[in-house]
Structure 1
Amino acid sequence: MQLSEELARAFASMGRLLDDFQGEELSRPDFTVLVRLAPKDPTGEPVRSRDLARSEGLDPSTMSRRLASLADRGLVAREPDPADGRAHLLTLTDAGCEAVRRERARRVTLVTDALDGWDDPDRAELARLLSQLTDSLETRRAQRRPAGRAR
Structure 2
Amino acid sequence: MQLSEELARTFTAMGRMLREHEGLLSPSAVEVLVRLAGRQCTRSRDLARAEGLDPSTMSRRLASLEERGLIQRHPDPDDRRAQVLGLTAQGRETLSAERARRVTLITDTLSDWPEHERDQLAALLGRLADSIDAARDGHTETRSAS
What's the TM-score, normalizing by structure 2? 0.87
Task: Note the C-alpha offset of 1:45.
Answer: 8.0
Superposition deviation, residue 80 in structure 1? 3.4
1:135: how far off? 1.8
C-alpha distance in structure 2 between counterparts of 1:21 and 1:2, whole Å: 29
Matched, 1:30 2:25: no
- Which residue pairs with 2:85 in the alignment? 90
Which runs of 5 or more structure 2 residues have no equivalent in the other structure? 140-146
Aligned residues: 138
The separation in 1 between residues aligned to 2:94 and 2:52, in whole angstroms, is: 23
Offset, 1:131: 1.6
Q: 1:58-81, CA deviations, whole angstroms, 9 ceiling, x for partnerless residues?
A: 111111111111111110001233
Separation (CA, whole Å) in 2 of partners of 1:68 and 1:136? 33
Change (3 A) 1:80 1:136: same
2:97 aligned residue (85, 99, 102): 102
* 1:110-129 equivalence runs, <5 A: 110-129=105-124
Question: What amino acid is the match of 2:22?
Answer: Q
Q: Determine which structure has greater relative contact order: mean sequence separation of CA pairs < 8 Å that are 6+ residues apart, divided by chain length.
A: 1
Q: Deviation of residue 84 (structure 1)?
A: 5.2
What is the CA deviation profile of residues 26-48 of structure 1, one whole-angstrom value per residue up to 9, with x for unaligned ones?
Answer: 11111111111003xxxx58711
Partner-residue secondary structure (3-state), 1:89: strand
8 A Cα contact 1:78 1:89, kept in partner: yes
Structure 1 regions of 5+ residues with no counterpart? 145-151
Conserved? CA contact 1:48–1:89, under 8 Å:
yes
1:13 is aligned to 2:8: no
Partner Cα distance (2:27, 2:129) in 1 = 20
1:63 is matched with which residue: 58, 62, 67? 58
Kept after mapping to 2: 8 A contact 1:46/1:91: no
Runs (4+) of structure 1 exceeding 3 A deviation are none
In structure 2, distance between residues paired with 1:60 and 1:133: 28
Contact 1:81 1:88 in 2 (8 A): yes
Letter in 2 for 1:104: R
Q: 2:35–2:41: 8 Å Cα contact kept in structure 1?
A: no
Q: Percent identity?
A: 57
TM-score (norm 1): 0.85
